[in-house]
A and B are shown apart, each in its own frame.
Chain A
Amino acid sequence: MITLEHVSKTFTSHGQTVTAVDDVSLEVGEGELHVLIGPSGSGKTTTMRMINCLETPTGGRITVDGRDVQTMNVVDLRRGIGYVIQQGGLFPHFTVADNVAVVPRLLGWPRQKRRQRAEELLALVGLPPELFADRYPRQLSGGQQQRVGVARALAADPPIVLMDEPFGAVDPITRKQLQRELRRIQAEVRKTIVFVTHDIAEAFLLGDRIVLMAEGRIVQNATPADLLRNPADPFVTSFIGEDRGLRSLRFTSLAELAGPAPPGARPNGMILPGTLSILDAGRELAAHRDAAGDGIWVGDTTGQPIGYLTFQQFATVLGESLGDDAETPHDETAHAIHH
């Protein structure tokens, strides 16, 4: 469990002070994945780097498993926290396998075991070890390097992982695979993860909670479903809505997604027509913040209920669809290059 209590960080450079993080409080429970999302410069990376003491807060307190990180031995703390760095940060003079196995090496694992673990993790992130283990980072594409960075963070099986835009440079199809893989790992072993992204779809897909930041502050900290249902202010709505990926949601209707209504449940007032697009449904929900229950009733043109969609399903679908849409322009580009 990670807690941030009224944490602030100001940088002073060239006589100017920048408040990178401003009174942020956060609680990431054991086994939860919290996504930090927000515009560039909103303090996501800085927030994350204070957890493993790469930055020192200028105010507030951070604890990991109940202990104030400031009082802990930084070396031990960091070896117990996996860290995927935003710019990759692979060691250029280490092979891929040695990069992955760097924390096990610091922990004194025997060579054989390190190698085995590195190969296991490379396979996990979709880099066949027989092709990649003995290469150097410069012989890898940006996306491949990022995946090595993810493997490196997981190598010593840390209970806590900080991931700073881990899939930012990965192509959409691979990104989707990695997201699914992360979700699978998360379902199995339940690590405590802080995950930074710019990709709202990724946030919906992976987050137990989504923490939306702007100018160093938390604008809203909510479950994906709540974020859709009760956006705190127009900024949140615009942040969710501005994503170009949402375009595709205009062409998916609620009726296509709705499942059968839970037995015995009755419509609670608001029934959205099945012909409504997912996008419009999201707007509708945002306009009715007080909507009760844990989902949306879907009706036919006459208003008769024909199905039900939980907010969680809605959020996941939103995440999935946004991801799918992001592939389209990429595929077109690939097409254009091949011909």
Chain B
Amino acid sequence: MMRRRMRYIIEHPDRMLELTQEHVWLVAISVLIAMLIGIPIGILITRLRWLEGSVIGVTGVLYTVPSLALFSVLMPYTGLGARTVIIALVLYSLLAIVRNTVTGIDEVPRPTLDAARGMGMTGSQRLLLVELPLALPVILAGVRLATVAAIGIATVGALLGAGGLGQLIFDGIARGSTDRIVAGAISASVLALVADWALAQLGGRLRRDVQIAGR
């Protein structure tokens, strides 16, 4: 039974590879953009504390909007295609990345920060030499959360013609082909597991490097 359901994957390796690549690309580019926006916003919040409530609030609300609803809100402005999906994925990823950046920096031990100031580091030296390196494992945990979520949400993006593994699922639904649905769903899940595992490994290594006694 299972073997038969996997038939599509086995018989169309090229197609599988192509869709997986599309999917990875969608997610990677979105999470990357979210990092480029979210990490600076997180840093800004630790400097201008009054921003915290509203920024975390807005990204939090964004996070709870169902993906189809978000797509349909964006579509009138951004049209069909990968662009809309990427924008939506960026918006979804922001919460985890901003929040973890703030948490990571907040968790830098007080004496360590005091030492950085006491040694005469400037604000930017403190950020680059102390705060960001020490916050990195926590930021990476946010990236990991965002990535796994984005891999799932990106499947829905196929509805907008953005491609990716969701394509198989919707093709399967349209043609009544369970094989395709299974192929799409399983591949997306495996992709999420692999990404989760890989980022966890990376995070573990980083954490070991910056481990703080007693933290």
A90 touches B117 (CB 8 A): no
A106-B125 Cα distance, complex, nearest whole Å: 9
Q: Which of B114, B133, B213 contacts A89 (CB 8 A)?
A: B114
A92 touches B213 (CB 8 A): yes
Is B121 an interface position by the 8 A CB rule? yes
How many residues of chain B are within 8 Å of chain A by beta carbon?
23
A138 touches B211 (CB 8 A): yes
Is B111 an interface position by the 8 A CB rule? yes
Is A93 an interface position by the 8 A CB rule? yes
Q: Which of A54, A78, A92, A102 contacts B211 (CB 8 A)?
A: A92
B210 touches A88 (CB 8 A): no
Query: Secondary structure of the B side of the interface?
Result: helix
B120 touches A89 (CB 8 A): no
With A106-B125, A138-B211, A138-B212 in contact, do A92 and B120 touch (Cβ < 8 Å)?
A: no
Query: Which chain B residues in 162-215 approach chain A with CB under 8 Å?
Result: 209-213
Is B159 an interface position by the 8 A CB rule? no
Is A75 an interface position by the 8 A CB rule? yes
Say how far A95's CB is from chain B's closest CB, in angstroms: 11
Say how far A186's CB is from chain B's closest CB, in angstroms: 21
B134 touches A79 (CB 8 A): no
Which residues on the A side are within 8 Å of B119 (C-beta)?
A: 78-79, 83, 102-103, 106, 152
A75-B120 Cα distance, complex, nearest whole Å: 5
Which residues on the B side are within 8 Å of A75 (C-beta)?
A: 120-122
Is A38 an interface position by the 8 A CB rule? no
Query: Which chain A residues in 57-93 approach chain B with CB under 8 Å?
Result: 74-80, 83, 85-93
Is B112 an interface position by the 8 A CB rule? yes
Say how far A156's CB is from chain B's closest CB, in angstroms: 9
Please name the residue on chain A nearest to B213 by beta carbon.
A138
Please name the residue on chain A nearest to B136 by beta carbon.
A93
Query: Which chain A residues in 105-136 approach chain B with CB under 8 Å?
Result: 106, 136
A92 touches B118 (CB 8 A): no
Which residues on the B side are within 8 Å of A197 (C-beta)?
A: none
Which residues on the A side are within 8 Å of B116 (C-beta)?
A: 91
Say how far B121's CB is from chain A's closest CB, in angstroms: 6
A85 touches B118 (CB 8 A): yes
Which residues on the A side are within 8 Å of B112 (C-beta)?
A: 89-92
B111 touches A103 (CB 8 A): no
Query: Which chain B residues in 89-145 approach chain A with CB under 8 Å?
Result: 109-112, 114-122, 125, 129-130, 133-134
With A92-B212, A93-B133, A138-B211 in contact, do A85 and B122 touch (Cβ < 8 Å)?
A: no
Is A137 an interface position by the 8 A CB rule? yes
Which residues on the A side are within 8 Å of B109 (C-beta)?
A: 89
Please name the residue on chain B nearest to A78 by beta carbon.
B120
Please name the residue on chain A nearest to B214 by beta carbon.
A138
Say how far A148's CB is from chain B's closest CB, in angstroms: 11
A91-B126 Cα distance, complex, nearest whole Å: 11
A78-B121 Cα distance, complex, nearest whole Å: 8
Which residues on the B side are within 8 Å of A83 (C-beta)?
A: 115, 118-119
Q: Which of A54, A102, A137, A138 contacts B117 (CB 8 A)?
A: A54
A249-B118 Cα distance, complex, nearest whole Å: 39
A77-B121 Cα distance, complex, nearest whole Å: 11
A89 touches B130 (CB 8 A): no
Q: Which of B111, B125, B209 contacts A87 (CB 8 A)?
A: B111
Say how far A78's CB is from chain B's closest CB, in angstroms: 4
Q: Which of A76, A86, A88, A91 contacts B120 (CB 8 A)?
A: A76
Which residues on the B side are within 8 Å of A321 (C-beta)?
A: none
Is A221 an interface position by the 8 A CB rule? no
A92 touches B210 (CB 8 A): yes
7 inter-chain pairs at a CB distance below 8 angstroms, sorted by A residue, are: A75-B120, A85-B114, A85-B115, A92-B112, A92-B210, A103-B119, A138-B211
Q: Please list the residues of chain B having a beta carbon within 8 angstroms of any beta carbon in chain A.
A: 109-112, 114-122, 125, 129-130, 133-134, 209-213
